Amino acid sequence: MSFLADDDRPRKKAAHEIGEDISSFSADELSARIAVLQAEIDRLDAEKARKSAGRSAAESLFRR
């Protein structure tokens, strides 16, 4: 029995690929992609805030 390494698995196509040709997309398709990208930005911002808060808490603890 063989197991596939994570790198060997087929990857799901991204909802949007940075730099891809978007000239053929309709306004609705562009709006959908904007929504996907905005959700990802929001997710990244939330993680950044969580990490910043953790770092601030650690710095406060060690400054005492």
The dihedral through the CA atoms of 25, 31, 32, 37 has a sign that is positive
pTM: 0.62
Is the pLDDT score of 4 beyond 60? Answer: no
Quick check: 49 and 41 in contact, CB under 8 A?
A: no
Residue-wise pLDDT for 9-47, tens only, equals 777 777 788 899 999 999 999 999 999 999 999 999 999
Among residues 38, 17, 35, which one has the least CA distance to residue 27? Answer: 35
Domain ranges of the chain: 25-64
One-letter identity of residue 56? S
Among residues 16, 44, 40, which one has the least CA distance to residue 30? Answer: 16
The dihedral through the CA atoms of 45, 10, 32, 24 has a sign that is positive
Three-class SS state of 5? coil
